[in-house]
Amino acid sequence: MNTLTKAGPAAAPQETATLQTKATAAAAHTAQVAPFIATTNLRKSFQMGPTMVHALAGVNMTIEGGTFQAIMGPSGSGKSTLLYLLGGLDRPTAGHIIVGGHEIDKLDENALAAYRRRFIGFVFQSFNLIPSLSAWENVAFPMRFAGISRRERQKRAFALLERVGLADRRSHKPTELSGGQQQRVAIARSLVNEPRLVLADEPTGNLDTASGQSIMELLAELHRDGRTILVVTHDPRMAAYATHQIFLLDGRVVSEEIYREGTELAHAPTPS
């Protein structure tokens, strides 16, 4: 049984429908169907003392809904920045982002918070669980502020933990769980609001190979359930679980060929 379909409230169907209709109407005379994600000339710069760091230097990309994308790139290439901007955790310096019909660079703070809550599930490398809470309390935590009764929160959290294969660990604290199990709890928590888009920033980075593979298999299952999944990874074995790959170099999306050339040059032995 797919417990996910019962686990959360529907994602603001009316608001989403209105915004999508607008975006679709606008795109109708240029393209057949609007992509689920589109960025144009997306830039993010950080002032660091006297220098300006261009974390994203003009990203133009489209991502179809229902795909499972691996984002690959060397350290510092802008992977996390891209994920944060798509998830509405940070704002671009310039450029535009459309996700599911929402022009998120144009949303005010309240609307951006609503977008994060209704649309996005975020998974981090370091799990970010609250140590004093049990597995199910961690999963239920984001529902605390949504006017849902404790009984109902618990019911949904149990269902989500069952979904990620942790029904028998629901009363364990994070320190009583393995790294792979903690990441499963974090994934269950990311699903409480039935997000259409799951963004995972190196979710297997702190895990051994076997645990990492089982996390990628879980993300692949969420993809098969109809979600769009973007996962940042350094590891080609993990990227192999995805249906598509995006390559970043120096804040830009590049082709696989240019990426291979760029990263091979970086790893070539330097003459002494």
Ligand X SMILES: Nc1ncnc2c1ncn2[C@@H]1O[C@H](COP(=O)(O)OP(=O)(O)O)[C@@H](O)[C@H]1O
Q: State the residues that interact with ligand X by CB under 6 A.
A: 46, 48, 53, 55, 73, 75-81
Q: Round to the nearest angstrom and report the end-to-end CA distance of the chain.
A: 61
81 binds, among ligand X, Mg ion, none (CB under 5 to 8 A by kind): ligand X
Any bridge partners for residue 253, and if so which? 248
19/254 with CB nearer Mg ion: 254
17 binds, among ligand X, Mg ion, none (CB under 5 to 8 A by kind): none
53/130 with CB nearer ligand X: 53
Which backbone phi and psi does 37 adopt, to 5 degrees? -125, 135
Question: Contacting Mg ion (CB under 5 A), which of 80, 138, 183, 213?
Answer: 80
75 binds, among ligand X, Mg ion, none (CB under 5 to 8 A by kind): ligand X
99 binds, among Mg ion, ligand X, none (CB under 5 to 8 A by kind): none
Query: Which residue type, as a one-letter code, is found at position 84?
Result: Y
Question: Where does this chain touch Mg ion (CB under 5 A) — which range of 76-84, 151-159, 217-225, 252-260?
Answer: 76-84
CA-only gyration radius of the chain, Å: 19
> Please, what is the minimum distance in Å from the beta carbon of residue 80 to Mg ion?
3
Give residue number: closest CB to Mg ion.
80
SS3 205: coil
Q: Does 190 bind Mg ion (CB under 5 A)?
A: no
Token pair for residue 124? 């981090």
Nearest 10 degrees: Cα torsion 121, 123, 129, 133: 30
> Please, what is the minimum distance in Å from the beta carbon of residue 80 to ligand X?
3
> Please, what is the minimum distance in Å from the beta carbon of residue 79 to Mg ion?
5
105/202 with CB nearer Mg ion: 202
> Please, what is the minimum distance in Å from the beta carbon of residue 45 to ligand X?
9
Closest to 89 (Cα-Cα) out of 63, 66, 65, 115 = 115
Any bridge partners for residue 51, and if so which? 48
Dmax (CA) for the chain in angstroms is: 67
Closest to 173 (Cα-Cα) out of 165, 191, 181 = 181
Query: Which residue type, as a one-letter code, is found at position 32?
Result: Q
> Please, what is the minimum distance in Å from the beta carbon of residue 236 to Mg ion?
17
Q: Which residues contribute to the site for Mg ion (CB under 5 A)? A: 80
